[in-house]
Structure 1
Amino acid sequence: MAPAEKETEGAERPVSTVVIRADDVDFVRDGNLLLDSVSLTVHSGEHWALLGANGAGKSTLLGLLGAVAHPTRGRVEILGRTLGRVDLRELRSHLGHINPRHPLHSPLRVRDVVLTGLTNSIEPVPRWSPTDEQVKRADRLLTMLGMGGEKAESRWPTLSQGERGRTLIARALMPSPRLVLLDEPATGLDLAAREQLLTSLDELRAEHPELATILVTHHLEELPASTTHAMLLRGGACLGSGPADEVLTTDQVSKCFDHPVRITRTDGRWAARSERAAQR
């Protein structure tokens, strides 16, 4: 991100729409180059998909963008703060991170799970209590995501995988983040639960037009219709990046997965089919 211009006394400082900027990022672990000169800029209101085969570097890149790790080389700025010059834990408190493998083992009520998004903790923090307004916000988010009413009183172990996914989206939104990261949110969902989740994401994005999101997946069928941009990763390198319709093409996706597929888009949703099967 370019340095901020010197403010004129009394003038209101403009708010940048850039929420993430990664420049020529490398990431090396145990001598292995997992990311190779990857660059990405995400603005407010953009909804990115990171796609690639297993081992392509998607989760590694998401870890950098979620302030979980530092790059080996290159520069990553998140919400105007440069990794390596900021406390990662403090920065993560300003992000919404949705992990379907949420490591909660207590039988918390759905509403209480959502409220842990305010403390950035898995379990409720001892001697901390939410305000009435915070509880009302949790209930509003749960209602928006189809988990309001009696479902808000349900216990975590009794939830289906789809219900857990929608609960975790509400939890990520509690601190009003400018950026939400979704790490394979449709993992383990059946068809109905997946469609409910994707509908919830579309509605979420419509109700929060300034929110930016980044979603990691292996499957084009798991992309919401509201996806605006995409990046294809292969072997830790960027194969394509930009507006979704320009990146998610038959040619580029086939190269990304090293398999001939035909890409179609109907009613805003993408689908991939083996080229051989499509020719029958």
Structure 2
Amino acid sequence: MVLQLENVSLKREGSLILKNINWNIKKGEHWVLSGLNGSGKTAILNMLNAFYFPSSGNVTVLGKKFGKTYLGEELRKKIGFVSSALQEKLHNNDNAFEIVLSGAFASIGLYERPTNEMREKAIDLLKQLGCFKYANRNYNTLSQGEKQRVLIGRALMAEPELLIFDEPTNGLDFIAREQLLETIQNIAKNPGSPTMIYVTHHVEEILPVFNKTLLLKRGEVFSSGDTKDMISSQQLSEFFGVSVTVFWQRDRPFLSK
């Protein structure tokens, strides 16, 4: 198991953010975590990264049971994280190469001396992701799409066992969005690719590789299972509380009202 949440609840400042969450992810599975704003998606991500601990229930991530073993930096090195929110924490004066290198240490900025092997790996990732041409440019001068590609390189630097994409297409135009989604699809095709979680509230971003989906509503699991069953007209109409129609093209779902 990559992830086990057993009857997990979370209280923050007296409010119940998550309630009785059950979620199991096996190695090799790729999941979508979907819900409207305020559904609790961010709270779950903070818990997976050991920033939050459950108020009740059991959490086990990559074999580490919360409350039983030391967590923190060592766990986060095994989890790749790609998020627009992370961009705000990075040092804008670092160049793309340095940002990718920092992923080897799960740090914001470079505080340790990278090895030659790390440098070569970062260069290879920049080339694979089409970022090498702007490797020496400051991060704050890059476009949103370029920044997200650099973050993917940073996330892959430590060879994570779990790779999380948190609303990665925020701020991207249609072409940049599709290019980024193609990159994610290609990562999944690589032998030995990490288990992936894709967090979104846009169903049209769900790629064929994400064959499992958890629908989260008001801090509770509304439903979970095979993506084709979860992303259906009937299921989503009940989920959103309004009548919607789901149609599929090229193994991707699209929504209309």
Q: TM-score range by the shorter chain?
A: over 0.9
1:45 aligns with 2:31: no
In structure 1, the partner of 2:79 is 95
Return the match for 1:131 from 98, 110, 115: 115
In structure 2, the partner of 1:12 is none
Deviations along 1:99-120, one digit per CA (max 9) or x if unpaired, are 2122223321211100000111
Gaps of 5+ in 1: 1-17, 275-280
Q: Is the CA contact 1:226–1:268 (under 8 Å) kept in the aligned structure 2? A: no
CA distance in 2, matches of 1:208, 1:173: 14
Letter in 2 for 1:109: N
Letter in 2 for 1:105: H
Gaps of 5+ in 2: none
CA distance in 1, matches of 2:149, 2:125: 10
Q: If the length of structure 2 is used for normalisation, what is the TM-score?
A: 0.94
Q: SS in structure 1 opposite 2:151?
A: helix
CA distance in 2, matches of 1:265, 1:119: 41
Return the match for 2:127 from 128, 137, 143: 143
Return the match for 1:183 from 151, 166, 177: 166
Q: Note the C-alpha offset of 1:215.
A: 1.5
Q: Note the C-alpha offset of 1:210.
A: 4.3
Q: Is the CA contact 1:111–1:152 (under 8 Å) kept in the aligned structure 2? A: yes
Q: If the length of structure 1 is used for normalisation, what is the TM-score?
A: 0.87
In structure 2, the partner of 1:213 is 196
Q: SS in structure 1 opposite 2:224?
A: strand
Superposition RMSD in Å: 1.4
Q: 1:142 to 1:268 in 2, by over 3 A?
A: farther
Letter in 1 for 2:82: I
In structure 2, the partner of 1:245 is 228
Deviations along 1:204-230, one digit per CA (max 9) or x if unpaired, are 111144410111111112222321210
Q: Is the CA contact 1:116–1:124 (under 8 Å) kept in the aligned structure 2? A: yes
CA distance in 2, matches of 1:57, 1:210: 27
Return the match for 1:73 from 56, 64, 70: 56
Return the match for 2:47 from 64, 81, 95: 64
In structure 2, the partner of 1:114 is 100
How many equivalent pairs are there?
A: 254
In structure 2, the partner of 1:271 is 254
Give the fraction of aligned pairs with identical amino acids, expressed as a percent.
35
Q: Is the CA contact 1:66–1:97 (under 8 Å) kept in the aligned structure 2? A: no
Q: Is the CA contact 1:68–1:88 (under 8 Å) kept in the aligned structure 2? A: no
In structure 1, the partner of 2:5 is 22
In structure 2, the partner of 1:278 is none
Q: Which consecutive aligned stretches of 4+ in structure 1 deviate over 6 angstroms post-superposition?
A: none
Higher CA-based Rg? 1
CA distance in 1, matches of 2:28, 2:176: 25
Deviations along 1:67-95, one digit per CA (max 9) or x if unpaired, are 22111111010111101223331322221
Letter in 2 for 1:61: I
Letter in 1 for 2:126: L
Letter in 2 for 1:93: K
